[in-house]
Every structure is written in structure tokens, then in C-alpha cells.
Amino acid sequence: MHSIIFFILGLILLYLGGELLVKGSLSIAKRLNISTLVVGLTIVSFATSAPELFVCVKAAINGNSNIAFGNIIGSNIANLALVLGVTALIFRVKISRQTLYYNFPFMFFVSVLLAIVLFFFNGISNYFGYFFILLLSAFIVFLIKNSRDIINENTEDLKIHESSILMSMLFIIFGVFLLKYGADWLVDGTIFIAKLFDVSDRVIAVTVVAVGTSIPELVTSIIAALKKEENLAVGNLIGSNIFNVLAVLGITSMISELSIEDIKILTFDIPWMLAITLVLAIIIYISSSSKVTRKEGVVLLSLYISYIYMSLI
């Protein structure tokens, strides 16, 4: 019973920590006059990926790669199918030209790269971790250099409440503190629940843990949708998936090498992640003139429900 309580508290702390981290990061970026387009794809994406980072590092240190891989793959699936599906139900999501030309293709490439690395090397070594970080750094530099050259973008400022630099730093520090303990309790609770119900830790990781660590993305995208901030709504999700693979798995594997322990990560979870990414590509490039409509949001949600159902059975 105590472990289940800690599991629930872990989810709550991850949510609160992610919120504070996002708020502090955005406020500092606003005060430093950084482009909101770049902010959405870098600072916000990294901030909303922080729960995944803490969970993965904790799992890797404990020698449980199933939770690390399950969390990232499950979160990426949840971002594209669950979060974007729910967001599209609120209003039709317009895909920016930068996302069409740069961000989505790079996310697709990163997803395929992860699949290739896992299939051929059965895990992620320290060397691949360093490579992932270098690749991410190059992408961020590319984004910053090209941020002023994107044509016909929505350049409205985000409605961000500006706090003082000191208060913003306190938000970030306290957010990291909450994320650390939230990750500890969530991972420990996950292992206990998996043993209690005789369910593999991989299944718990790709379902409950993945949704839990995707809460910051869900909250950010829904708020952005309500405020009709399309760049943030979509950029946050695309950027978060990129950061999940390159930053989270990169940093985690630099600390402790990750290896595949459950073959279903390769035979089930990875194919689902690639398939949903491909479906989204068809939606935004072919079927609806660079938009995700409500009907297509229903399709994405249906895919996510199918994935969860097939994972549990």
C-alpha cells in the first residue's frame, strides 16, 4: 500500500515539478528576449522532458533499462497520439512551415535512428550517448541560426507572466527538487506494482509511467491550444520527442549504459512508435493541408487506445 501511495505522489510531484520548471524557463527566456519560436522547441521541450530524464536516470542507476526505454518510447507515443489527439479535439492544429520543413523530418530521423541503434546494438552505449548529445547540439545551433529566416510564421509573443530572475531561478530549482523525488518514488512504485500484479515493468513503464511523465507536455499543449498558440502546441511535442531520445537517453546512457532486457521493446513498442509517427506524417503532409483536424485527432487517440490495449493483453 505504501508503494502505491508513493507511486501516486511521484506522479503528482512530477507534474508540479514540470510546471515550475516550464514556468521558470519561459520567464527567463522572455526576460532575455530569446525568440519564442526557439524557446518552444528548446527550453520548453527540454523542461517538459525533465520528468523523463529523472525517471530514466533513476531507472538506469537501479539497473532497470526496461523502465528507461519503456518510459521514453511510451512518452513519445503518448505525445504524438494522446497529447496531440486531445489538443486537436480542442481546435484544428495548424502545422507551421518550420515544423514541416525542419522539425518533423528531424524528429522522424531521430525516431528511425533510435530504432536502428537498438536493433543492431541491442542498447545504447556511452559512445552513442555522446553522439546523441552532439547531434542535439548541432540541431539547436541550426534552429537558432535559422529562426529569423522562417517565412510566414506566426510571430506573436507568448502570453507569459514575467517573474523576476530570482523568482524564476527559484521556480527552476524547486521544480528540479520535486522532479528528483517524484522520479524516485515513481520508479520505486512502478517496480512494486509490476511485481504485485505480475505485470512486466516494461508494460507499466510504457503505459502509466509514460503518461505520467507526459503530463507537462499535455498541460502545455492544451493551454497553448486554448490560447491558440499553435507554434507552442505542436513545437513542444515535436521538440519533446527529439529531446526524449537525444537528450534523455543520451545523458542517461552517458551515466550508465542501457541494454535491451525485454525483447518486446524491439518487436512491439518501437514498431508502434514508428507507425504512429508515419501516420502523423501522412496526416500533416498529405491528408489535410498541414493541419490536424478533430477527426484526425480521433484517429490518433484511437491508435493510442489500441496501443495501450494491446500492451496490456
Burial zone of 151 (CB within 10 Å; 0-12 exposed, 13-18 middle, 19+ buried): exposed
pLDDT at 288: 66
- Report how far residue 116's alpha carbon sits from residue 210's, in angstroms, rounded to the nearest whole number: 22
> Over the chain (313 residues), what is each successive 10-residue block's mean pLDDT?
81 80 72 64 74 88 90 94 90 81 93 96 95 94 69 43 73 81 80 80 86 75 69 77 94 94 94 96 82 91 95 85
- Report how far residue 170's alpha carbon sits from residue 272's, in angstroms, rounded to the nearest whole number: 39
Instruction: Write out the three cell numbers for 250.
Output: 543520451
C-alpha distances in Å from residue 240, one per residue of 5, 76, 124, 196: 28, 8, 19, 32
Q: Phi, psi at residue 292, to the nearest 5°?
A: -115, 110
* pTM of the predicted model as reported, rounded to 2 decimal places: 0.82
**Pairing state of beta strands 291-292 and 123-124?**
unpaired
- The three-class DSSP label of residue 93 is strand
pLDDT at 115: 97
pLDDT at 153: 43
Q: Which amino acid is at 24?
A: G
Q: Phi, psi at residue 42, to the nearest 5°?
A: -120, -75
Asked if residue 50 lies in contact with residue 176, where contact means CB atoms within 8 angstroms, the answer is yes
Asked if residue 82 lies in contact with residue 211, where contact means CB atoms within 8 angstroms, the answer is yes
Q: Which domain covers residue 152, as residue numbers?
A: 2-312
Beta strands in the chain (DSSP E): 93-94, 123-124, 258-259, 291-292
pLDDT at 39: 65
- Report how far residue 39's alpha carbon sits from residue 102's, in angstroms, rounded to the nearest whole number: 16
Name 259's bridge partners: 123
The total number of structural domains in the chain stands at 1
pLDDT at 36: 55
Q: In sequence order, which residues have a C-beta less than 8 Å from that of residue 257 and are 6 or more positions away? A: 123, 124, 125, 126, 129
Domain at 64, CATH number: 1.20.1420.30
